[in-house]
Amino acid sequence: MSYSEKVMEHFSNPRNMGEIENPSGVGTVGNAQCGDIMRVYLDINDGIVNDVKFKTFGCAAAVATSSMATELVKGKTIEEALKVTNAAVCDALDGLPQVKVHCSLLAEEAIHAALWDYAQKEGIAIEGLEPPKSDIHEEEEEEEAY
């Protein structure tokens, strides 16, 4: 298993890493058990993703896909951001090793979860957006069993 140069470059110098204060929407997906958690912050104005930041706990593939996915949605309309797919993120990174392809799923999910959070706060519906499947905050009660 080895990573493309692009993956290593984004892993070593991740773009848009950090937080946004008072974000328009935040989404956290993934599962610490599997070793990958991704959180995306969005700043949305007039239907445009003005700014995006991420934080990720995970392998190099998870960090690089977070970095690339945030690059791909930055400055885009909500509709365009919604269309950033796993495959697009993977392609932009010159591919991922087969065992790491599942990491790219998280990037798309995290962006969708953040958009969902934005839609909830604004009381609007975004066409084609499904509620997040694995938002971690929904699982907190179960996690207390530790």
Residue 138, interface with another protein (CB under 8 A)? no
Between 8 and 48, CB nearer to another protein: 8
Tell me the C-alpha distance between 30 and 50, whole Å. 25
Q: What is the DSSP string of 64-96?
A: HHHHHHHHHHTT-BHHHHHT--HHHHHHHTT--
Q: In what order do the strands lie in the sheet with 25-31?
A: 25-31, 36-45, 48-57
115: left (phi over 0), alpha (psi -120 to 50) or beta: alpha
Q: Residue 58 Cβ, how far from another protein at the closest point, in Å? A: 5
Alpha carbon distance 121, 48 (integer Å): 16
90 is catalytic: no
Binding part of the chain for another protein, among 28-36, 44-52, 78-86, 119-127 by CB under 8 A, reads 28-36
Tell whether residue 22 is a contact of another protein (CB under 8 A). Answer: no
Q: Which of 10, 39, 74, 112 binds another protein (CB under 8 A)?
A: 39
Q: Which residues, numbered 69-108, are part of the site for another protein (CB under 8 A)?
A: 99
Closest to another protein by CB, 119 or 136: 136
In this complex, which beta carbon is closest to another protein, that of residue 130 or of residue 143?
143
Q: Is 103 a catalytic residue?
A: yes
Backbone angles phi, psi at 17, to 5 degrees: -80, 135
27 near 117, Cβ under 8 Å? yes
Chain residues that interact with another protein, rule: CB under 8 A: 1, 8, 11-12, 14, 17, 19, 28, 32-39, 55-60, 62-63, 99, 136, 140, 143-144, 146
Q: Which residues are catalytic?
A: 34, 103
